[in-house]
Structures are given as C-alpha cells and as structure tokens.
C-alpha cells in the first residue's frame, strides 16, 4: 500500500512540475515579446541615459575655439600727435614729428586659438538633479516590474481560460458521442417496433441541442486561444499545449494577513509613490538651493597672433575662479519650492489611499480563492454522485426498466456536472493567478531588499 502511494505521489509531482514548466515557458515567451513590456524597457533605458547625463555634469567641460581673419579696408582713427607735440618740441629745439598717426579700426590679418577647461566646484543644482534622475530611474524600474507582473497574471488567466474552454468543449463532445450512439440504438429499436417514433424525435432533438452547444464551445475555445496567442505576440491560430487543471490547483497556503503583508511590502505602486515623494523633496531642495552661489574654475589657454607668424609671446594661459549668484528672481524659486512641498504632501495622501486600495484588492482576490476552493469540493462531490446515478440509470435504460426521458435527464445532469467541475477548477486557477499578482505572495520568502520599510512609510 505504501509503495502504491509513493508511486501515485511521484506521478502527481512529475505532472505538476511538467505543467508548471509549460506555463512558465509561456510566461517567459510573453515577457520577451510583449510590446508593452518592450516599451517599458525602453523607458528604463532612457532613464539610465538621463542618469549618466546628470553624472557627467560633474566632470569638466573642454571646449576649443579657433578663428582666422583676413581683413581689408575699414575706417581709420587719426591721432594728431604731431599737431599736439610739435609746438612744444620747437621751443626746446627737438626735431618735430613728421606727421600724425592714422590707426585702422579694423585690425590686420590675425588668428586666435583658445582652449577652455571649465570645472564646476559647487553647483547645488547638479547634486539635486543627479539625485532626481536616480530616483526617476528607480521609478522606471518599478513601472517595468508593474507591467511585467500584470502581464504575467494576464497570460496565466488567458492560459487557464483556454484550458477551461477546451475542457468544456471536450465534455460536450463526449456527451455528443453518447447521444449519437443513443440515436443509432433508438432508430434500430424503432425499426424493430420496440419503441415509438416519438423516441426517435426526442433523440434527434437532444443530439441537435448538444451539437449547438459544441459549436458555441468551439467558438469560445478558438477566441480564447487567439487572445492567448495575442498576448504572446504569436499567430492567433498557433496551437497551445494543455495539461489538466489538477496540476495547477494548489492549496492556498497563506493567510489573508500574510497576503496583505506581502502586498504592502512588495507592490511596486507603493514603491513608486515613495520614490515620487522623494523626487518632490529633491525638487524642493533644488529650488531652495538656487539662491546659493555657483562656483567654477576656468582655465583658458591658446595663442593670439597677427598674421601667420608665431612667436613665444603669442601664447597665453589664464586661470580664473568664476562665481555666479542669482540674488533675486521675483520669488520664482520660492514659489517652485512651495509647489514641490505641496506635491510631496499630496504623495503622502496618495500613498495612504493606495495602501487601502491594495488591501481591498487582496481581500477580494483572497475571498474569491476561498469561494473557488469550496466550489471545487461541492462540484466534485456533485459529479461523483451524478456519475453513480447515471451509471444506474444507463443500466436500467439498457434493460428497459427506465424511460428515455429519465435517461436523457441523467445524461444532461452528468454533462452539466462535468462542466461545473471544469469551470470550478479553472476558475480557481484564474483567481489564484490574480491573487499572486495583487499580493506578490511569490516574493514572501525574499529578502526585504527593495521592499517598503517603516522608514519609507514615514518619509
């Protein structure tokens, strides 16, 4: 007996691992191809590039400026040097200056080459901007995680919906085969005069009714497969591999309090609001710090020469300390700082509101899982009883001890009970996938790195 139980347990374990591997492969495929997630990935890369840009502003900037000029004509300025000093020279017997000097306003041919190195020493906006861009990068990472988490849940829900639709179609097709055989037997009995013609009409009506349901179930199956393939960015008619629902119907091993705790610790929406408040705090510091002076060190070097003949005297080097201070701007920076402070306060309100919303989402998803578990138990118990009931009715009908009406009624109840079991099992799988998404219970064994700490909530 123990050996049989071990074999059964091994088979179920292997089946569960196989089923999980199929679903996980589909999830990985969807995450690698989905366009929404790809867009979020590009947003994250843009944020990383902006962080690198902000960090690069701490390094010196080097600029090179070169100029060569050829000049012709232009006005001249006459300096009457001779007219001024010659009378004085004549008194003292000094030879007179021949003429006045004409100085051209436009210089002759010249060229200039200047290299400037500018290094910021203290610029408050650079520090705040780097911190803001880093926080925005974190927000982009969380946004990508939100997209991936909801996409994972959507893929799982679509997969279980496909399995549910396929299982319902299979149940109806099996019921249709039974009714086909019943119609054949009824027609033979009618030819032999055992039953009346109304039995044949009733069998044909039952067959037509189940055929209509099979057609509707087939259409639902095709549409669910098309949507699942849409999420995976595949051709809509690509076949989907299925496994039984029992391999995914894992028992609910967490309490409601644990699920809520995981959600409040790991939901990226809360982490994004925390980062958003930090961004507003940094913006407030940025605008407040705009009244502080900015200090730079500048080094200029190069040459300035007339014509194209260079000498050692044409080279120059200059070292400067530059300070810039915006003393008054009409209180614009103060107003912007006030706006950032108000936005931070609003983030606190949004944070509390989001926590309440998440609690409600988790409680609703958890309640659905509990109800689905109970529904599975009831549906399976009902199916077990109806299977035994149908077996007895079928035996009595074959022996002529039961009416055709009773047989069709038992067959219809068996079909409905089988559909109820399939629906209950896959509905539980869908609800469990939703609970995983809204509560992040798959992360409950992770370290609290990246989760919301008490200090984050108080900020």
- Domains of the chain as residue ranges with CATH: 19-61+123-294+332-458 (1.20.1600.10)
101 membership: H or E segment, kind and range: strand 101-104
pLDDT score at 181: 81
Low-confidence ranges of the chain (pLDDT < 70): 1-20, 73-74, 81, 83, 89, 92-93, 97-102, 104-108, 245-247, 443-459
Task: Find where tokens 């408050």 sit.
Answer: 124
φ and ψ at residue 63, rounded to 5 degrees: -125, 145
pLDDT digits over 301-356, tens only? 998 887 777 778 888 899 999 999 888 888 888 899 999 999 999 999 999 999 99
pLDDT score at 20: 59
For residue 246, which of 424, 413, 459 has the smallest C-alpha distance? 424
pLDDT score at 447: 34
Give the sign of the dihedral formed by CA 443, CA 448, CA 452, CA 453. Answer: positive
pLDDT score at 454: 40
pLDDT digits over 343-399, tens only? 999 999 999 999 999 999 999 999 999 999 999 999 999 999 989 988 898 888 777
φ and ψ at residue 101, rounded to 5 degrees: -110, 130
pLDDT score at 77: 72
Return the axis-axis angle of helices 404-439 and 256-266, rounded to nearest 10°: 40
- The four Cα atoms 408, 409, 411, 414 give a dihedral, to 10 degrees, of 170
* 450 Rama class: left (phi>0) / alpha (psi -120 to 50) / beta: left
120 membership: H or E segment, kind and range: strand 110-122
């Amino acid at each position: 007996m123990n050996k049989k139980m071990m074999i059964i347990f091994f088979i179920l374990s292997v089946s569960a691992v196989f089923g999980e591997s199929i679903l996980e492969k589909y999830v990985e495929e969807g995450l690698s191809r989905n366009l929404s997630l790809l867009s979020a990935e590009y947003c994250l890369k843009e944020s990383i590039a902006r962080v690198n840009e902000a960090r690069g502003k701490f390094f010196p900037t080097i600029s090179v400026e070169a100029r060569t000029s050829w000049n012709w004509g232009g006005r001249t300025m006459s300096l009457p040097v001779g007219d001024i000093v010659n009378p004085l020279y004549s008194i003292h017997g000094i030879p007179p200056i021949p003429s006045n000097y004409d100085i051209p306003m436009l210089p002759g041919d010249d060229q200039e080459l200047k290299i400037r190195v500018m290094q910021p020493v203290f610029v408050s906006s650079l520090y705040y901007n780097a911190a803001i861009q880093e926080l925005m990068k974190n927000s982009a990472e969380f946004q990508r995680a939100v997209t991936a988490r909801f996409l994972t849940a959507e893929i799982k829900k679509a997969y279980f919906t496909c399995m549910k639709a396929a299982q319902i179609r299979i149940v109806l097709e099996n019921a249709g085969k039974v009714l086909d055989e019943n119609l054949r037997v009824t027609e033979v009995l009618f030819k032999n005069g055992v039953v009346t013609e109304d039995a044949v009409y009733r069998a044909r009506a039952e067959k037509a009714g189940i055929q209509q349901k099979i057609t509707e179930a087939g259409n639902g199956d095709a549409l669910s497969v098309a949507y699942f393939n849409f999420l995976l960015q595949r051709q809509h008619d690509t076949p989907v591999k299925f496994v039984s629902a029992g391999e995914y119907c894992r028992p609910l091993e967490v309490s409601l309090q644990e699920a809520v705790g995981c959600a409040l610790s790991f939901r990226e929406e809360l982490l994004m609001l925390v980062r958003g408040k930090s961004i507003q705090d940094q913006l407030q510091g940025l605008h407040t710090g705009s009244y502080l002076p900015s200090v730079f060190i500048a080094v200029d070097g190069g040459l300035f020469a007339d014509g194209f003949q260079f000498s050692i005297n044409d080279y120059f080097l200059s070292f400067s300390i530059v300070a810039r201070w915006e003393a008054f701007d009409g209180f614009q920076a103060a107003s912007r700082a006030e706006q950032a402070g108000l936005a931070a306060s609003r983030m606190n309100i949004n944070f509390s509101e989001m926590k309440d919303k998440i609690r409600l989402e988790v409680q609703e998803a958890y309640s659905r899982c509990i109800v689905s578990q109970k529904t599975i138990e009831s549906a399976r118990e009902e199916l077990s009883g109806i299977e035994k009931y149908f077996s007895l009715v079928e035996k009595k009908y074959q022996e002529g001890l039961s009416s055709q009406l009773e047989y069709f009624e038992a067959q219809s109840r068996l079909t409905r009970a089988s559909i109820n079991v399939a629906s209950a099992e896959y509905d539980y799988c869908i609800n469990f996938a939703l609970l995983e998404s809204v509560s992040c219970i798959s992360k409950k064994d992770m370290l609290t790195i990246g989760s919301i700490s008490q200090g984050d909530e108080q900020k």
